[in-house]
A and B are shown apart, each in its own frame.
Chain A
């Protein structure tokens, strides 16, 4: 283990060490990494765990005399420096670092470095990454002709120092495939390859780069990395991992990259778009960035524990993505390596602590705060529906005169006949119409199977004459007070509703403010709109709305029990109804107050019609009107009403289906405290929102909230954001950042291989107005980027990780590109940007075995063939093929790219339906488009995937294998049929199955080539 760690350090110093030996020892480059890694945890910024009052992270302290009279660092004299004496001591008891601290001892070389540094005067340097970058002048180099832009000057200057030569430019086909994959995530088409190969005019490559950057594919390619950084997913992530809907934010990101939104604006939008003056819908959608973190819907959690976790996640994500510092290390104690006291963590926490949110979230959709986020298409359609509803309303208004006239006419005739009416649509639960006399011991069960779950609206109504203040009117519930289900009853005379999943925490409970009368017939009714909240419940007595009180408002989960409907019972023995109940009615809708007012009326239609119009009360008027419209109005009037209702319903339904997105909102400010040991229930000193003290100050003109924080992040004085961002772009193109530790620019991070280049790029990026496409273009236009990627044994020995870039990058494609390439090459790709996430092929049963339930329902049609960035991402069971190829799990912010090489990847590419179907479609394309001759077809396959023609030797192998497969399937045509039966796309019947199967085998083989899954 220790050897292993050291192997890494040695390899790096093999690259970096040459100059270190030649030149003076530099503190930042050579000494700080040793101090940080081996000394700081006890002699660094962490004040609580500091030993011997010695700190080596600050110059003054390190050079001052200690209490025992010893001086840690004596400039110019290693032997007198206590630091050197202790690291070089032969005594186990004296030698630092102590074995018990779990640190490796210093290597002789490291000891020597420190000795030389001390003897050379112990010149201190501030940590480079916390100093504002200044644009360095590109160095003068011998390879002048090779330098195409500043990037090359920095790179080749270093190569010259190391005695290395840059590699020649990659051949055109390789270069085209490289840059096309890098900038769009898709391979070039054969015709794009043809065009580029033919174009020998000046600027051909630049035109390709411009074309790629202008494509929406570019935006999609950039977006997927940002989704990983933003821990974007389609589910909540903890425990039952319910669904959420955040794709409107994902589409905002695509659009931002597509429009080349400046990165500072991109930042401000996502951190604080809601706080911008005149914030637009888009600005608010952008803030979903910080609602992408995981949330928990696990019953019984302590809310504050998890809410704290959400806020902490925002701090950690912000510091990783923008600042490249590990502020999360200061959550429980002062940072061990960087000057970031624990207070800094909670001061940043305070910026994100004012969201009116909860720790326990809803498991079946977005949790508040969220907004409707209509797409432009939604907005257009909604306007149409509004217009239709308005037209229907207008039509209805115009009918009013005629309605009154017709109704008066009808009333006259209704007087004579015996007519009555009530609000239709009710079930009587198959109970007898006559009054049920209940004795306070027994209830009456109904066999009616009518069911209600927690989101089903309803109206219950009944006549009751209670003889006791406690008793169930109607229930569909386990028969005890805390039982699961619906209970509607009297408690202390008050009308009361329970809808309960689990009484202690998942329940809606309400009651009327006033009690009812005993021993009197009263009509009672209750309506529930199906939106889970107490505000959607109304109670009525004798048709009049009564004031209610919400007692518990946490109805968040579907109901389970299969209990019968009961009248007079269903909440335990203490709540058996005593008295009389009749006329029980259950509606599957929430009636309006006007409709409810009609229910208790004893007067018949004829009776009311006979009354003088002026003496009818409101309820009576409603009853007449409803009855007339329901049964007797002329067709045109009923049609008008019907039209009004239909257009309103259509509008409502459409509106309800418009996607929402969870966003950031500043609610009532919460007091923020430092949390001792990071524990939610151990508040320490109070803190206010503030950025870390070690970084440049917060300007007074900025508001002290997220908006100010966002401005501070992208201020010219911020030494980190631009460096961290361009470093990430660099890593995306070259496989490794200029600072390898892309998430850590602190003292434990890697000293940049080319700090001058990093600073040049950072300043260029800022000076260009944070132009993302611009800086990417600068990099891919460089000769450094265009080098061929061939590795020589010498290079492999000198620079195994290609940090010096004496050759072009060569590394495995990210997961999504491997799949997207197969879809594109086969012609299956459905090239459409944005929209809800889709569910492509996935082996059956993966969800059920972990969670039960219905499992994953795969899409049919377009959803199977969209780019992988649109794949539905369930955090606890992520898409297996993506994970196998090292995609981050989207649980927390991940910005590093990792690449492994495993047999599971081989199995995936060879046997997954996705790739087998792609191979079949690719084979069909070769037979259709490639030409008639075998050689042409093989060439087509090769070029479609690899953008180059096969060499003779390759051609021979492929042809030979093709012949093998052809012979095999000719012998077993039934096997060919089976082999071709992969995926849901239809097979082109015009091809001979034996021939197609043989080509499918070859296509699969090409998709499995090392070169196919590699960017060369």
Chain B
């Protein structure tokens, strides 16, 4: 092997998300800890080594799920007082409504676990693991529409173009595997089939090199694009092919001396390894029945949220750094009482199962699991209000997220909203604060993970972000 590789070359021009792993191996001997991250990172001892982010796209209603507001019954149908709204900007969908009638949730709440957390009847499985959760009721954002709001949570900017959290982590920490990407994304549509669209840029790397972008694991066709050999060309054929390719590239390397060629040789070998490691990963047939009892039978159907939760656990086991799930169709402008229970049914059991599964495998301690959407929903009804039907518009001023596992204090509910579930009255947590806290759990000082682009040092939290110390374990 021609080894006139400089450190500069390794981390500069030829550095590649996965390839760097192989190269580092060549230079430093086998070492199966983090590969591909930056020197000097993590900044301090991390509590979590990986993240599983269960993104609920569309904006689940906080007052139907976690933020219990019994007093709303007293205001049923009354117009939301201006003193509560305080001129808050509304979306164009409800700004011109002639009235803003308050509508309490039709669903029942109860306290659960030793912590006594309030959880709605729609989430019976989540309720059972309440003591594992850190529930934050006071998250607030700046965006009032889906695209800017999801983009804000994922990239720290409402306007697309910056790297996503997963990309920042892949860039900063690399992966703990040499056979899989550092950042994997999986998507499940709601069983209603619809919902807000998603965009590749939500796992894009922005101005970071493209090797840090999330790799989509798909439920249709190849789990990773172009993974399978063509028909009539099997693994042995591929091996023979790669042997010849490697030989020819090696000749080229000897003649031209460009170390980029040795990187390419190892990338082809990595691709070959992925051809066996990925199918092994996505093959759930060897999971015992107990697994499906836990996650639900849905987990047998590729592309469901349950199947993706199970895959998330398998990815976590194999050292993937950031595993991002998206479940669509939480955008209940209308027909909320009929539609919301369906989304909960899609997701509740598997979300809880994931926590339990990680725990029983001893992985919850160093895996941070995050659940939440891009904003909350309004206490007032959007559109038509009838006896048993209502809808809610987007609401940026408060919504609920829960976290569990590495770095979190379990069994805690943090933050409080007013009686109208409109404004935060205690312990507000801005999106930037949440992002800073997530990075902190991974041993990263959010102010110090930067990338120079267009003359400026960018970071996930821009110039903001305070740690939410009260939820840290």
Give A contacts to B, CB under 8 Å. 1-5, 7-8, 10-11, 102, 237-241, 294, 296, 298-303, 309, 320, 326, 328-329, 336-338, 360, 480, 482-483, 502-505, 681, 741, 743-744, 746-749, 789-793, 796-797, 800-801, 810-812, 843-845, 849-852, 875-878, 880, 883-884, 886, 889, 891-892, 898-908, 910-912, 916, 951, 953-954, 957-958, 960-961, 964-965, 968, 972, 974-982, 997, 1001, 1004-1005, 1008-1011, 1014, 1016
Contacts and interface: CB of A to CB of B under 8 A. Distances in A.
A850 B197 contact: yes
A796 B187 contact: no
B34 interface: no
Contacts of A980: 232
A982 B230 CA distance: 8
Contacts of A997: 232
21 contacts: A1-B450, A7-B8, A102-B450, A300-B92, A326-B456, A790-B256, A800-B9, A801-B13, A812-B260, A875-B199, A889-B201, A901-B16, A902-B16, A903-B18, A903-B268, A904-B271, A907-B225, A911-B227, A954-B248, A975-B232, A1004-B241
B237 interface: yes
Q: Which 5 A-B pairs have the closest CB atoms?
A: A748-B455, A979-B232, A978-B232, A300-B91, A876-B199
Interface in B194-235: 194-201, 204, 209-211, 213, 215, 218-222, 224-234
B200 A957 contact: no
B6 A796 contact: yes
Contact of A904 (B148, B215, B237, B244): B215
Nearest to B241: A1005
Given A789-B256, A877-B199, A911-B227, 20 more contacts: A4-B39, A8-B12, A239-B145, A298-B147, A300-B144, A326-B454, A482-B383, A741-B455, A791-B256, A791-B259, A793-B4, A845-B221, A883-B213, A901-B260, A902-B17, A906-B270, A911-B230, A951-B251, A961-B240, A978-B232
Contacts of B38: 1, 3-4
A744 B454 contact: yes
A902 B329 CA distance: 34
Nearest to B274: A903
Contacts of B204: 889
Contacts of A850: 187, 197-200
Interface in B110-134: none
B12 A876 contact: no
B279 interface: no
A908 B225 contact: yes
Nearest to A913: B230
B200 A876 contact: yes
A916 B270 CA distance: 20
B245 A791 contact: no
A1001 B95 CA distance: 62
A292 to B, nearest CB: 15
B387 interface: no
A957 B244 contact: yes
Given A849-B218, A903-B271, A907-B224, A796 B231 contact: no
Contacts of A3: 38-40
A338 B454 CA distance: 12
B210 A886 contact: yes
Given A744-B455, A883-B210, A961-B241, A796 B197 contact: no
A505 B96 contact: yes
A796 B144 CA distance: 52
Contacts of A790: 255-257
Interface in B135-187: 144-148, 159-161, 172, 187
Main secondary structure, interface of B, reads: loop
Nearest to A1004: B241
A961 B210 CA distance: 34
Given A239-B146, A852-B189, A1009-B248, A801 B12 contact: yes
Contacts of B268: 903, 906, 1008
A300 B456 contact: no
Contacts of B107: none
Contact of A7 (B11, B92, B160, B251): B11
A981 B244 contact: no
Contacts of B394: 300
Interface of B: 4, 6-9, 11-14, 16-19, 38-41, 43, 89, 91-97, 144-148, 159-161, 172, 187, 189, 193-201, 204, 209-211, 213, 215, 218-222, 224-234, 236-238, 240-241, 244-245, 247-249, 251-253, 255-261, 263-265, 267-268, 270-271, 274-275, 303, 383-384, 393-394, 447-450, 452, 454-457
A303 B92 contact: yes
B305 to A, nearest CB: 13
B200 to A, nearest CB: 5
Contacts of A982: 230
Nearest to B96: A504
Given A789-B256, A793-B4, A903-B274, A852 B194 contact: yes
Contact of B384 (A480, A747, A976, A1001): A480
B20 to A, nearest CB: 10
A851 B189 CA distance: 9
A965 B238 CA distance: 10
Contact of A800 (B12, B201, B224, B383): B12
A554 to B, nearest CB: 9
Contacts of B225: 843, 880, 884, 904, 907-908
Contacts of A749: 455
B93 A796 contact: no
Nearest to B303: A849
Nearest to B91: A300
Contact of B144 (A302, A901, A954): A302
A903 B92 contact: no
Contact of A902 (B19, B161, B240, B456): B19
Nearest to A745: B455
Nearest to A796: B4
A834 B229 CA distance: 34
B456 A800 contact: no
A748 B455 CA distance: 5
A4 B11 contact: yes
Contacts of B247: 957
In this complex, the member of A240, A320, A875, A957 whose beta carbon has the largest number of chain B beta carbons within 10 angstroms is A957
A876 B256 contact: no
A901 B19 contact: yes
A1010 B195 CA distance: 43
A981 B231 contact: yes
B255 to A, nearest CB: 7
A865 to B, nearest CB: 19
Given A336-B456, A883-B210, A907 B8 contact: no
Contact of A792 (B7, B257, B383): B257
Nearest to B208: A898
B448 A1 contact: yes
Contacts of B237: 965, 968, 1001
A751 B315 CA distance: 44
A748 B159 CA distance: 24
A910 B146 CA distance: 38
A5 B200 contact: no
A747 B41 CA distance: 29
B47 to A, nearest CB: 19
A510 B220 CA distance: 47
B265 to A, nearest CB: 8
A593 to B, nearest CB: 34
A891 B201 contact: yes
Contact of A1 (B172, B222, B236, B256): B172
B97 A504 contact: yes
A8 B224 CA distance: 33
Nearest to A337: B455
A1011 to B, nearest CB: 6
A337 B455 CA distance: 8
Given A744-B454, A744-B455, A1016-B256, A903 B201 contact: no
Contact of B267 (A302, A748, A902, A1016): A902
